[in-house]
Structure 1
Amino acid sequence: MSQRGDSSSGTVTTQVPSRLDRLPWSRWHWMIVIGLGTVWILDGLEVTVVGNIASRLSEDGSGLPISDAQVTGLAAALYVAGACSGALFFGWLTDRFGRKKLFLITLAVYLAATAATALSFSVWWFFIFRFLTGFGIGGEYAAINSAIDELIPSKYRGRVDLIINGSYWLGAMGGALLSVLALDTNIFPKDLGWRLTFALGVVLGLVILLVRRHVPESPRWMFIHGQSEGADELVSGVEREIEAETGRPLPEPAKSITIEQRKSIGFIQIAKTLFRDYPKRAILGFSLFVGQAFLYNAITFGFGSILVKFFDVSSGSTGYFFAAIALGNFLGPLALGRLFDTVGRKKMIAGTYILSGVLLFVTAWFFNSGWLNATTMTLCWGIVLFFASAGASSAYLTVSEIFPMETRAMAIAFFYAIGTAAGGISGPLLFADLTGSGNVGDAVIAFCIGAALMVLAGLVAIFFAVAAEGKSLEDIAAPLSIQKNAGEKTGGTPTAPAV
């Protein structure tokens, strides 16, 4: 028997985690990746499009009486505020009511808000639905990252998580090129092109929703929340499908765990778990998210102003340069992701953070010395972000796997909200004047701040990062519901020491 329950004590002994982790890669896993992972493309598209079409929205004849400062300032801040609050709100609901319900609801919120944004007829309407678009996207991060990590085998978890998070930059690249097209008044009228860019997001979201309907609930969430029979049936169906696909029987699962089933975990207990039981891991998550947020804002927040002010690039052409940067961002996780599963988490996280920070220091030196033009500056940024993107993606991987299962979505939401707030609120306040002043020294200061925080986060990773490669989630952080004598009952070793 793969699992057995004790109705009198509310406990269940299960092999579901071990059964999931031993699965070979299959069509079923591709369905998970496509159904859940593609939302990052939408986020990248959303953020980039709005930034690049700000000038068009503020022009007479756009159909919306809004200024450029309102688009890049207040509207951007509302999107960030929505993302932070959505992550926390939906993260709590995800841990309480399940991954599947929430990753369908959050995508529906995004679709409705984006469609409404395309129909904006006044400034207040635009502001409200930018907030609600961010609210849906923020909720997606918590629901999706937790579901992906709980469904992907431990052997592949690192590379898959990095590539999926890195796909944000495919959306950013598409948004940059799409904005060039939307701004061409020879193709679209001023009051139509920007609306069509938002409408495209709706179309892509609907396609994703059709695929996502077939993505199952997390069996790990199910067996903890009193649905052990459903979890067993789900995994058994996947096993039969994979055996038919490969023509080979699957190996026996390695071990069992025994947990006490419960319907929900209180917020106070979640907070105590993160900061009392795992303080070093909490410091690690905070450092990684803040470091990458400031590095990215040091570069991407003012990249357009730098190209225009220092290299005489026309504002209508900056989208091409941003597309080149975005490509480097996507190639980093794609090329380096496998190493996080083979070389190891600690070495790769620390290495990508420190190397990208050092390279940004070098770029600042080259820029200050007057050795760069628009092309070579973009090349330097692309190289920095090749490594930084892998590091930033590993921040999401880290916080989604180093805390107990019952707190996973909330942990992701908490650290995402910190990073997003730091990048979207503190970042613009700090970097707006520096990168937009037209003074080389000010831009260099912005680069050095981002680089220093990235290097500092890498140093924290050297001491606090967890060697999670190839390990079951339950071995990295034991579920709060686990029976303390589970190892004696099952012969397994399901627990991991808190750090």
Structure 2
Amino acid sequence: MTADAEQDSPDDRSGPRRERERGVLRRMTLATAWGEGLDGYDLGVLSVVLPLITVELGLSPLWAGLIGASALLGIFIGGPVVGWLTDRFGRRNLFLIDIGAFVVLGLLQGVVDEPWQLFVVRLLLGVAIGAEYAIGAAMLAELAPSRGRGRRLSKLLVSWYVGFLVSVVLAYLLVDLAGLSWRWVLVTGAVPALVVLLLRIGLPESPRWLIQRGRVEEAREIVHRFLGADHFRTEEYEHEERGAGWRRLFSPELRSRTLFVCVFWSCNVAPYFAIFTFAPQVFTSLQLSDERASTIAVNALAALGALVGMLTIEHVGRRRQLIIPFWVMAVTLALVGVWGEAPAAVLVVSLAVFAFFNALQGNLTAVYPIEVFPTDVRSSGVGIGTAASRIGAALGTFLLPVGLDTIGVGACMLIGAALCVVGGVVSQRLAPETTGRTLTRTGAVSVTAA
């Protein structure tokens, strides 16, 4: 089936019909971007209230690390498991179930009394977040046209960083001005999740997934009804062979892609999660007098970086936007690690530059995994990449409070710099250039340096 298989007349394509097509794609983009933003919101809120939780529940450094890493551990489970379920049973239903679970679990955070209870709830919340990564970007990419697909997918990471920034500012306001307890602050994440749930009701199934499962007529009807046939004029709708699930991801034809996605994603997120989940403690260790202002300023730069990355991705290209930031981040973290006694302004600017380029590059975590895997294992591939990235992020988040007490903040920053070097080397070798290509073509491209 191709986009030319069914064309509408000019009269059919005018007025309300065209507006409806735009509306469906806009709603899908918004519903997916807000879902991604929930992850940033949840982790941002936790970074502010975790010190309060530590005091009230009497957390040891071990429990503080476990609770800080709990959602990341859940993502490790939810990404690959729900990714496999999504490739097997479809995108739409799981897209709704996932966000419904997020609402319920968000509310449950308000009634926990013991450290283990909070750990379990946030672990399950992480499973829902991991599912969001596996389902949302794949579903959006499979409905969107090639032109501007990178910019559209980049909006997911812009939403993540904006969600993180908004949650940090809001959490400080709710704690300092409104006097709310940490439980109510955590519960606020259920409110935007409920809005996302309402946005997702009525969205169609992915036509690409239907065609891959042999349900061509259903896919044709969805394209005709919701998107218009010429919306996919440049896309090829070929019936692909069904793969062997996870096993195919590690087959000779795809294992280099899987390795690339797992390594670059891990090296992007691990330093960021470790540093900014415990941002107040990190800034205090660097002897910065106002850790709150520093936390907000650095996260504002991160949101700006994500926005710049979204606006430039189709012009700069995927490959350059991935490789260059790794080396910039390595230099800035190494500077903080080596020159820990530098003036406060130098330290804040260094971490701000790191956050800016990390976010600018981070947009590609929503783009590359979608583009380098074929339809039959796309969500599974994203899920595996998500899981691998969260292993590094969870280890970093778990070990950072211990590291601050033992080896010191300087050594922790140097470890983060080393991770960026690893990411840069692997990306230089394996990153493809997929800008402007259809999903059918990118899924068939060998992941070698362009």
TM-score bracket for the superposition, by shorter chain length: 0.7 to 0.9
Q: Which amino acid aligns with 1:371?
A: A
Higher-helix-fraction structure:
2
Report if the CA contact (8 A) 2:333-2:417 is conserved: yes
Which residue among 41, 47, 51 is the counterpart of 2:47? 51
Which residue among 148, 151, 161 is the counterpart of 2:140? 148
1:236 Cα offset (Å): 1.3
2: distance between equivalents of 1:17 and 1:120? 55
Q: Which has the higher relative contact order, 1 or 2, with Cα contacts under 8 A spaced 6 or more apart?
A: 2
What SS does structure 1 have at the residue aligned with 2:188?
A: helix
What SS does structure 2 have at the residue aligned with 1:276?
A: coil
Which residue among 386, 390, 413 is the counterpart of 1:420? 390
Which residue among 163, 167, 183 is the counterpart of 2:155? 163
1: distance between equivalents of 2:288 and 2:306? 32
1:454 Cα offset (Å): 1.2
1:95 Cα offset (Å): 0.6
1: distance between equivalents of 2:272 and 2:132? 21
Deviations 1:234-257 (A, max 9, x none): 1112345x9xxxxxxx58935755
2: distance between equivalents of 1:16 and 1:28? 21
1:72 Cα offset (Å): 2.3
Segments of 5+ residues of structure 1 without an aligned counterpart are 1-12, 243-249, 479-495
1: distance between equivalents of 2:375 and 2:72? 27
Q: Is the aligned partner of 1:471 residue 2:437?
A: yes
Which residue among 178, 187, 190 is the counterpart of 1:187? 178
1:274 Cα offset (Å): 3.8
> What residue number does 1:104 align with?
96
1:128 Cα offset (Å): 2.2
> What residue number does 1:198 align with?
186
Which residue among 154, 165, 173 is the counterpart of 1:173? 165
> What residue number does 1:115 align with?
107
2: distance between equivalents of 1:420 and 1:222? 30
What SS does structure 2 have at the residue aligned with 1:53?
A: helix
Task: Label 1:294 to 1:207 Cα distance change in 2 as closer, same or farther (>3 A).
Answer: closer
1:497 Cα offset (Å): 4.9
What SS does structure 1 have at the residue aligned with 2:147?
A: coil
Q: Which amino acid aligns with 1:229?
A: E
Q: Is the aligned partner of 1:29 residue 2:17?
A: no
2: distance between equivalents of 1:221 and 1:73? 39
Of the two, which has the highest radius of gyration? 1
Which residue among 270, 285, 291 is the counterpart of 2:267? 291
Deviations 1:90-134 (A, max 9, x none): 111111111111111111111111111112244443232111111
Q: Which amino acid aligns with 2:323?
A: A
1:351 Cα offset (Å): 1.5
TM-score (normalizing by structure 1): 0.80
Task: Label 1:81 to 1:233 Cα distance change in 2 as closer, same or farther (>3 A).
Answer: same
Report if the CA contact (8 A) 2:158-2:307 is conserved: yes
> What residue number does 2:15 align with?
none
What SS does structure 1 have at the residue aligned with 2:86?
A: helix
> What residue number does 1:435 align with?
404
Task: Label 1:71 to 1:159 Cα distance change in 2 as closer, same or farther (>3 A).
Answer: farther
Task: Label 1:37 to 1:210 Cα distance change in 2 as closer, same or farther (>3 A).
Answer: same
Write the mapping of 1:388-399 to structure 2, written as runs, cut at 5 A.
388-399=358-369
Report if the CA contact (8 A) 2:275-2:282 is conserved: no
Deviations 1:399-432 (A, max 9, x none): 1210111111111111111111111125532x33
Report if the CA contact (8 A) 2:69-2:398 is conserved: no
Report if the CA contact (8 A) 1:51-1:72 is conserved: no
Task: Label 1:223 to 1:210 Cα distance change in 2 as closer, same or farther (>3 A).
Answer: same
1:30 Cα offset (Å): 2.0
Deviations 1:254-278 (A, max 9, x none): 575542676xx543xx323444212
> What residue number does 2:304 align with?
331
> What residue number does 2:14 align with?
none
> What residue number does 1:74 align with?
66
1:453 Cα offset (Å): 2.1
1: distance between equivalents of 2:298 and 2:262? 26
What SS does structure 1 have at the residue aligned with 2:433?
A: coil
Task: Label 1:99 to 1:16 Cα distance change in 2 as closer, same or farther (>3 A).
Answer: farther
What SS does structure 2 have at the residue aligned with 1:154?
A: coil
Task: Label 1:497 to 1:448 Cα distance change in 2 as closer, same or farther (>3 A).
Answer: closer
What SS does structure 2 have at the residue aligned with 1:216?
A: coil
2: distance between equivalents of 1:294 and 1:256? 36
Indicate the percent of aligned positions where both proteins have the same amino acid. Answer: 23
Which residue among 349, 354, 357 is the counterpart of 1:384? 354
Moved more, 70-79 or 225-234: 70-79
Which residue among 203, 224, 227 is the counterpart of 1:236? 224
